[in-house]
Amino acid sequence: MILSVKNPINGEIGKIKDLTIEDFRSLSFILENGDDGDLENFLNDRLIGDINSLTKLLTLINARMQFVSEQITFNNGSTNVNIDIKFLLREILNNIKDIRTVIDMDDYQVHIDYPTKLVHKNKEDLLMDCIYCMVHKHKTLYFRELNDESKNDIISMFNAKAILKIQEVISDINSPITIFKARANLPDIKISLFDNSSFVFIRTLFSYYTYDEITELIFMISKRIPDLQYLNSRTPRDLELIIRLYSEEIEKSNTETKSTI
C-alpha cells in the first residue's frame, strides 16, 4: 500500500510505503538507541521520491494517522494528555506559507525554497539546503542535484553581501508555527522546518510503542493467529483492530455463557 499526500503550497506529492508493526519494531529500537540521523535515514527509506521537508512532514503526519491512530500523547509532568492529530495538522495547514522567493544578485539569481532535510547539522547546512537553484545568464544550476562538497565550493564563491541576503531571507521565514496553545498544564507546541523542532515533533509522533510492547503485542495475537509473517506485515492499526474484535468476541461469549447458567 502506498499513501499519497499533496503539499498545498507547491502541489508536490509525497508518497510513503505502509508502516508495518515490523517497521515500528525498528523505529522503537532507533528511538531508544539511535540518533536523529538514524531516524531520518529510516523515514527517508520509507518516503518515495525527491520531496522537500514540508511535504515530508505532511506525509509523515498523515502516515501516522493512517497506519497507527489519530491520537498523540504528551505528558504534562503528572499525567498523559491525548491530542487529536487532525487538529494539529489543521493548525499546520492553516499557518504554513509559501516561502519560495528569488534573491537578485549582481549577475545571477538565487531561488530559495523549503529545505529537503528534516535535520540540519548547523546554519551553513541549512543555508545550502534552502537554495533550490541558481540562475546565471539563462543557465540553471539545481543545487539539490549536487553533493555537499560541490555546494560548499559554490557557496565559498559567494561574497559576504550575498550570504547575508540569503541568511536574512531564511531568518524572516524561520518563525515557528504554534500548533498547540498551552492548556492542561502543557506548554505551547511550536514547530519550524528551519531549526529541527519539526523533527522533535516527528520523534514524538512515532514514539508510539516501546520495543517490548511490540513483542508483547505480537505474542498476544499469535495465540489466535500463529502466522508471524502475516502479523509482522500488518500495520499497528490492523493489529489493534484484531485485538479489539477478539476482545469483543470473548466478552460476547462470556455474556452468552452467563445467560445460559
Contact yes or no for 51/80 (Cβ under 8 A) = no
Q: Where are the alpha helices (DSSP H) in the chain?
A: 21-33, 36-46, 53-67, 85-95, 123-130, 148-155, 160-172, 197-206, 211-222, 228-232, 236-260
Residue where the block lists cell 506529492: 13
Dist CA 162 CA 200 (whole Å):
31
Dist CA 174 CA 195 (whole Å):
8
Instruction: Tell me what the mean pLDDT of segment 231-246 comes to.
Output: 90
Residue type, 49: G
State the pLDDT at residue 191: 84
DSSP assignment of 143-185: GGGS-HHHHHHHHTTS-HHHHHHHHHHHHHT-PPEEEE-SBTT
Contact yes or no for 116/50 (Cβ under 8 A) = yes
Give 183's pLDDT tier (boundaries 50, 70, 90): confident
More confident residue, 152 or 5: 5
Please tell me the number of Cα atoms within 13 Å of 170 on its side-chain side: 25
State the pLDDT at residue 261: 58
**Residue 39 Cα distances to 49, 87, 111, 130, 197, angstroms:** 18, 25, 29, 21, 14
Whether the pTM exceeds 0.95: the reply is: no
Phi-psi region of 196 (alpha: psi -120 to 50; beta: other; left: phi over 0): left
Check whether 259 has a pLDDT greater than 70. Answer: no
Backbone angles phi, psi at 139, to 5 degrees: -110, 135
Q: Which of 119, 102, 96 is nearest to 38 (CA)?
A: 119
State the pLDDT at residue 174: 63
Check whether 244 has a pLDDT greater than 80. Answer: yes
Which of 159-163, 200-204, 205-209 comes out lowest in average pLDDT?
Answer: 159-163
Dist CA 53 CA 118 (whole Å):
6
Which of 25-34, 167-176, 195-204, 246-255 comes out lowest in average pLDDT?
Answer: 167-176
Q: Which of 174, 178, 92 is nearest to 130 (CA)?
A: 174
Dist CA 154 CA 60 (whole Å):
32
* Residue-wise pLDDT tens digits, 78-132: 777 888 999 999 998 988 888 888 888 778 888 988 888 888 888 888 888 889 9
